[in-house]
Amino acid sequence: MPDACTFCRIVRGEAEADRVFENDHVVAILDRRPLFPGHVLVLPRGHHETLADLPPREIDPLFGLVRRLAIAIEAALGADGSFVALNNRVSQSVPHLHVHVVPRRRGDGLKGFFWPRHAYPSDEARREIAARIAQALLA
């Protein structure tokens, strides 16, 4: 898969991308189809399809850069904040782990576009979901 992976090709320098940052662990590039100008993708250099596949030693380099970019994007672009997102399988356009860091401005129209919210049907249903997740963390 890494030979055919678009992001692996970018990491190796075989495909063009506007690089914002790179080191031995991660590469950050501008998204070619951004939600807003300044939308950055942070990629681990190794081919890992989902967050669950990312080796523990790579978590800090990846999310450390995500944090730094969230701060830098606000400063560089005068953004009011940022949106940070990661898809695992569903809605993952390229099957290579990547984190989106998107500049946000109040009233930019993104609210509600991604997040149709629904209340739990009952307090009992909410507690049952919380318990199931807590139990899975112990596995």
Active-site residue set: 98
Is there a contact between 17 and 29 (Cβ–Cβ < 8 Å)?
Answer: yes
Rounded to whole angstroms, the Cα distance separating 57 from 30 reads 25
Is there a contact between 73 and 103 (Cβ–Cβ < 8 Å)?
Answer: yes
